[in-house]
Each structure stands twice: as C-alpha cells, then as structure tokens.
Structure 1
Amino acid sequence: MALDDILDEHEQSERVQDWLRRNGAGLVGGVLLGLAAIGGWQWWERDQDARQSAAADRYQAVVNGIEAGEAAAAGQVAALEPGTFQVLAALQLAAAQVEAGESEAAVTTLRGIRSDNPALQDVVARRLARLLIDAGEPTQALELLGTADSPAALEIRGDAQLALGKAELAREAYTQALAGMDVASPQRGILELKLTDAGGSVDRTEAQS
C-alpha cells in the first residue's frame, strides 16, 4: 500500500474520531431519546390494551347480571365508564326491561343514554321511538326521529303517523322505507303488510327489480 494511501486512511480515521468527540454525546442522546420514545409508545399500547380488556370484562359481567335478572343491574350499568361499553350495556338493559314488561323503566334507561357515536345514537332513538309509540306518544316519537331517513327510521315514522290517524303520511313513509330496503330483507314482508293495512299497495315490479 502506498504511503499516500496510508496517510489518507489515517487522516480519515482522525476526522471520524474528531467528529465523534464533537458530536458523540448528541448522537448517543438522540439514540437514547429514540429508544425511550419507542419504549414509551409500547408501554402506552400495552396500557391501552389492558384498559380495554378490563373494560370488556366489566361489561361482560354487567351483561351477565342483566341476563340473570339481577336487581342491581341498572346500577351496574350506570357504574360503567362512559363510552361504547356502557351504551351497549344500557341497550341490553332496556331490551331486558321491555321483555319483562317494564316499558316505563326501559324508556328511562334509553333516555339516559349518552353517546357521541352517530350509529349508536340512531339505534337508541329508534328503540325509544318505538316505545313512545306503544306508550301513546307518537308525536314525541316523530320529534325524536327528526330527519332520519333510513328504512328502519322511516318505518317507525310510518307507525307514528298511523297512530296519529294520518294514514296518507304513514303510507308515504312506508313506501319510502320499502324503496330503500333490500329486497331480501326479512323485514320487507312485515313492512308491505303495514303499507297494505294503511290503505296502500305494494309495487311488485319495484320489489322484484
């Protein structure tokens, strides 16, 4: 190897060592910070998983209590952390109350549900609207449904209008519901019967298209 080559390698080595002396601390610090960030993120993920698992366990315990007909079920639902699990448990409780003939309690349960999830809000509104119609409060049911236009909501709107004696508006709602409903839906036959009972007729051509 030529002397010039050896000197060049030595010079490069000196430059690397000098750079490390000047920047080594910052480099090590950056690596340590990166490792700490990765470790912190992994800890956060494990903590979130543990929290979700614990919340799911509490939810299942409450559901088991509801299914067993425990008197303390309502209090257990209220004690759950606000969020999806609490909403689902409350819906389960309301369904059990309806099945037990406790419609007023079910109305109270549904009125107390709070959720930022639009899909869950719609489910709560529809179930509560049905109970209000059964309780002789169709006007409140219509107010609760607002401008919801899903087939399920339109069907309930038709039920409310029919309860108010407004058969024409009921037929309109049922027809709109049928138009937006899948032809294979098991609910379609019931909805067609409702439309017929309200004085309407089913468009079989549309139903088969």
Structure 2
Amino acid sequence: MARSPHSNEAFFREVDDEVRREKMTVAARRYGLIAAALVVIGLIAFGGWLFWQHHRDVRAGENGEVLTAAMTALGAGNSAAAKTKLATLEQDGSAGYAALAGVLQADALIRDGKNGDAATKFMAVANDAGAPQPVRDLALVRATALAFDTLPPGTVIARLKPLMVPGTAWFGSAGELTGLAQMKLGQTKEAAQSFAEVAKDRSVPQSLRGRVAQLAADLGRDVQPADSGRS
C-alpha cells in the first residue's frame, strides 16, 4: 500500500529524528569519554604538582642541612669536610643553595690565601643566571674587591654600575669601589661625587659612610655623613 505524502513526510521525520538521536548518543559517548579523560589528566597533573611541591620542600630541607653542616665545619676549621659538602651542594642542590655553596667555597679559598681563585669563583656565581640576584650581587662585589688591584679601573666601574643605586643593599660597597676606580683614572670630581652619595645614604653602614666622607674631603668635597643608620 502506497504512503500518502503526509505519511511519507512523517516517516522521514521519524527516521531523521532517530538518526539525530543516534548521533547525539554517539557524540555523548565520545565526548563523555574525552571529558572523563581530561578530568583524569587534570587529577594526574594536580597530583604530580603536589608531589613536586613535597619533593621540593624535602629537597630544600636536605640542602639546608648540608649547608649548615658545611658552615659548621668551616667554623671548626675542618676545611676538607666543608669543601666536600659544599662541592656536593653546588653540584646537586637547588639554584639558591648551589649559589650559596659557591660563595662559601670562595670564602674558603680566601682563607687558604688563594685570592685569585676566590675572585674567579665569585665571578662564576655572579655570572650564573639561575642564581638568586641578591647572591649574584654579593658575589660581584666580593669578586671585584678581591681583584681590584689587577682590574682596569674602567672594568671596575662598568661591573658595578648596576649596583650604583642609592638605598640598595650593595650601594655602599659599589660606590666606594667605583670612587676608588675613578680616582685611578684621575676623575677626581666624579670620585668625590660617588663618595659623597654613599656618605649621605642612611642605609649604608655608618663606618663606611665615615670612611667615604673622609675620601671625599681629601678630594676637596666637604660632606657630612648621615648620622644614623645601620652600624
């Protein structure tokens, strides 16, 4: 029996609806699995992050213990034991602890009278882009001070220029070394200005302010150092 046009339309609509339902079912299954997979991946990633955090904290604690042991050994005069621990820490520790280990190794070299090797070690820390900036700045000042007599004055000035910012941690030392290098170049006016800026900075230790104020006075610049600050 032939279907009427209306019946045919209803039939095709039912078929079309059934096809759509089937496609939606397949899509739901497919994307449901994808969504479930994303949730699993997210949970795995979160678990990995938690594990990394825990591992980092544990490692930091271990690095701190090694550093403390090395400092204790240095204080007791056991340089051999200290050097072994510091070498291990520099090799296997985190960036911060490795940098501190490098600084302490350089200090140990100074105690052994090896100032040239110490300056090289300090510069290695200063040039380490992965090390914390405060440690790099400390190492740069120490390296420059140790090698001051052998460095061209222009090199000293260029090295310390980033630290020549009043109020910052190493401004006092950088300013004094910069002024001395300027004196070597015969730049007495610039040297007096460097000394004067340090003398007026209350964040600089008082003993250093007094010293550079005298240097400024010797160059004809009368400066009254700040009368309070760190001692």
> Secondary structure at 1:136's aligned position in 2?
coil
Deviates more, 1:46-55 or 1:35-44: 35-44
Shift of 1:62: 3.0
Output one character per residue of 1:9-65: Cα deviation in whole Å (capped at 9) or x when no partner: xxxxxxxxxxxxx99x98xx69x8476666544333222211111222222233334
> Secondary structure at 1:48's aligned position in 2?
helix
RMSD of aligned Cα (Å): 3.5
Normalising by structure 2, report the TM-score: 0.62
Taking the aligned partners of 2:80 and 2:50, their CA distance within structure 1 comes to 41
Shift of 1:190: 2.2
Q: 1:136 to 1:41 in 2, by over 3 A?
A: closer
Q: Quote the residue 1:43 is aligned against.
A: 51
Query: Given the alignment of the two structures, is residue 77 of structure 1 paired with residue 91 of structure 2, yes or no?
Result: no
Larger-gyration structure (1/2): 2
The letter for the 1-side match of 2:213 is E
Q: Given that residues 192 and 202 in structure 1 are in contact (C-alpha distance below 8 angstroms), is that contact kept between their aligned partners in structure 2?
A: yes
Query: Which of these residues, 86, 104, 113, is aligned with residue 98 of structure 2?
Result: 86
Output one character per residue of 1:154-178: Cα deviation in whole Å (capped at 9) or x when no partner: 2220122224443322112112223
Normalising by structure 1, report the TM-score: 0.67
Q: Quote the residue 1:197 is aligned against.
A: 218
Output one character per residue of 1:48-94: Cα deviation in whole Å (capped at 9) or x when no partner: 21111122222223333444342465565343236111211222232
Query: Which of these residues, 95, 105, 108, is aligned with residue 120 of structure 2?
Result: 108
Query: Which of these residues, 57, 61, 69, is aligned with residue 69 of structure 2?
Result: 61
Structure 2 portions without partners, runs of 5+:
1-27, 166-170
Q: 1:128 to 1:85 in 2, by over 3 A?
A: same
Taking the aligned partners of 1:74 and 1:156, their CA distance within structure 2 comes to 30
Q: Given that residues 213 and 224 in structure 2 are in contact (C-alpha distance below 8 angstroms), is that contact kept between their aligned partners in structure 1?
A: no
* % identical equivalent positions: 23
The letter for the 2-side match of 1:194 is L
Query: Which of these residues, 121, 127, 147, is aligned with residue 132 of structure 1?
Result: 147
> Secondary structure at 1:112's aligned position in 2?
helix
Q: Given that residues 66 and 85 in structure 2 are in contact (C-alpha distance below 8 angstroms), is that contact kept between their aligned partners in structure 1?
A: no
Structure 1 portions without partners, runs of 5+:
1-21
Q: 1:146 to 1:202 in 2, by over 3 A?
A: closer
Deviates more, 1:65-74 or 1:80-89: 65-74
Taking the aligned partners of 2:78 and 2:186, their CA distance within structure 1 comes to 38
Q: Quote the residue 1:95 is aligned against.
A: 107
